[in-house]
Amino acid sequence: MKSPAADPAGAADTSGAPAAPLLSVRDLSVTFHAHAEVRAVNGISYDLGAGEHVGLVGESGSGKSAGALALVRLVPDYAEIEGQVMLDGVDLARLTERELRDVRGRRVGIVYQDPFSSLNPVLTIEKQLTEVVRRHSRVRAGKARAEAARLLESVGVPNAAERISDYPHQYSGGMRQRAVIAMAVSPRPALLIADEPTTALDVTVQAQILELLQDLTSEHGTTMLLITHDLAVVAGITRRVMVMYAGRIVEASSTEDVFTRPAHPYTVALHRSLPRIDERRERLMTIEGQPPDPSRPIAGCPFAPRCSARIDRCTMEDPPLMTVPTARRAAAEGWDRRMIREQDGGALFPGPAAPQLTACWNPPPPAEGSPDE
Ligand SMILES: Nc1ncnc2c1ncn2[C@@H]1O[C@H](COP(=O)(O)OP(=O)(O)OP(=O)(O)O)[C@@H](O)[C@H]1O
Ligand code: SF4
Ligand SMILES: [Mg+2]
């Protein structure tokens, strides 16, 4: 596993004045009105700074994709989106479908798990890349073809000049993902959503694709939201991590803190399920039990049925996001939400300068010698 990433370009504000975030999400909820009503995302708020690389981590079904794709309304008609999404000061909820189509692609690039979902099987890679270039820069065909070739080379497709005439099925999985990344970064989007971009690939190819994403986004100052169910993927790539469980953000902090002193029992469990090279384990530990059914209302903390640190109030009240010291005092002194809010200075949401946040009444005690002991 790589070590947590150093501060990427633009992520830290050294002037003292907080810079306006590139993306500001407030109280975002997504409900699918299908056979049953499924509350996939339940009131999440966060900010992403310009140039930041942030991980969104959680088990399958925790609402990572629904929450990320709802930012640009890439959800079915039967999905209801609530909340506010501001991109560079523009309220995306107020845009028409046509305006939003322009935002997708030009301002927000998306890389999915399966590159085939972004590629047309009956067109050559050259045709598809050229079309993307022309759509966003309106240059002549010859110039667009030259730019397509340059792009394919820049994402490391071997023999790009020859292989550009191939069809997607003639590429390996890693090459297809490289071609999709070339398309996604071609218009130099401000935000790149990478939704499990390496899950379908071999381990060695995974590392190369992650490195490519990191290099390209750092080079262009692109903000990246890297979605994964595998905590190990965000190490070395992102500076911050938001952990999702049952449609909520349950912990948010620096990648380093998530690895060295996780504050939510779910993050601790995710951590334990990582393969270790220093310990010979017969098999991977999994998190016991199942996440809650999102079509049923939840009383109390959604992790309570699986949580070994559960205390009485956990089954009655869903904890809000709070700073870790506040959580410890809230547990010890039985604080209510009003006292938590007063202590933490109002509504808290993860952002570039936010402290370590947890939605747990009873976080693990600080390790000996740790700064918050
Ligand atoms: N189109 C849809 N119609 C109905 N329910 C959906 C739809 N898409 C997602 N859901 C439900 O919403 C919840 C969150 O799904 P989502 O795909 O966002 O999870 P995820 O965290 O991205 O999981 P994974 O790691 O498997 O991709 C799940 O319960 C899922 O079944
Ligand atoms: S609030 Fe309670 S049940 Fe939820 S994670 Fe914390 S200790 Fe566990
Ligand atoms: Mg998903």
Predicted confidence (pLDDT) at residue 34 exceeds the cutoff of 70: yes
For ligand 1, atom 27, which residue shows the shortest CA distance? 60
CA distance 46 to 354: 10
| Crossing angle between the packed helical segments 125-137 and 97-106, to the nearest 10 degrees | 120
Of 204, 201, 152, the residue nearest 179 (C-alpha)? 152
Cα 149 to averaged position of ligand 3 atoms, centre (Å): 31
- Domains of the chain in sequence order: 23-238 (3.40.50.300), 266-276+295-358 (no CATH)
- The pLDDT confidence band at residue 117, using thresholds 50, 70 and 90, is confident
Mean of the pLDDT values across residues 44-60?
Answer: 96
| Residue 113 contacts residue 199 (beta carbons within 8 Å) | yes
Cα 261 to averaged position of ligand 3 atoms, centre (Å): 26
* 330 CB within 6 A, ligand 2: no
**How many CB atoms lie under 10 A from the CB of residue 349?**
18
pLDDT for 9 equals 38
CA distance 229 to 306: 18
* 361 CB within 6 A, ligand 2: yes
pLDDT for 84 equals 97
- The pLDDT confidence band at residue 18, using thresholds 50, 70 and 90, is low
pLDDT in tens, 236-284: 899 999 999 999 999 999 999 999 999 999 999 998 877 655 555 544 5
Query: Whose structure tokens read 């995710």?
Result: 270
* 265 CB within 6 A, ligand 2: yes
pLDDT for 203 equals 86
Predicted confidence (pLDDT) at residue 189 exceeds the cutoff of 90: yes
* 246 CB within 6 A, ligand 2: no
Cα 354 to averaged position of ligand 2 atoms, centre (Å): 22
- B/e letters for 101-128, b = 16+ CB within 10 Å, e = fewer, are eebbbbbbbbbbbbbeebbeeeebbbbb
* 216 CB within 6 A, ligand 2: no
Beta-carbon contacts of residue 354 (< 8 Å; ≥ 6 apart)? 47, 252, 253, 348
For the chain, what is the mean pLDDT? 89
pLDDT for 6 equals 41
Of 233, 324, 238, 262, the residue nearest 49 (C-alpha)? 238
Beta-carbon contacts of residue 372 (< 8 Å; ≥ 6 apart)? 261, 324, 325, 356, 366
What are all long-range contacts of 148-154, with beta carbons under 8 Å and residues at least 24 apart? 151/182, 151/183, 151/185, 151/186, 152/125, 152/178, 152/179, 152/182, 154/182, 154/216
Query: Whose structure tokens read 């595998």?
Result: 230
pLDDT in tens, 203-231: 889 999 999 999 999 999 999 999 999 89
Length of the chain, please?
373
pLDDT in tens, 4-17: 444 443 344 445 55
Query: Whose structure tokens read 């990572």?
Result: 64
Predicted confidence (pLDDT) at residue 350 exceeds the cutoff of 50: yes
Q: Spell out which residues line ligand 1, taking CB within 6 angstroms.
A: 32, 34, 38, 40, 58, 60-66, 76, 229, 294
Mean of the pLDDT values across residues 301-312?
Answer: 93
Predicted confidence (pLDDT) at residue 286 exceeds the cutoff of 80: no
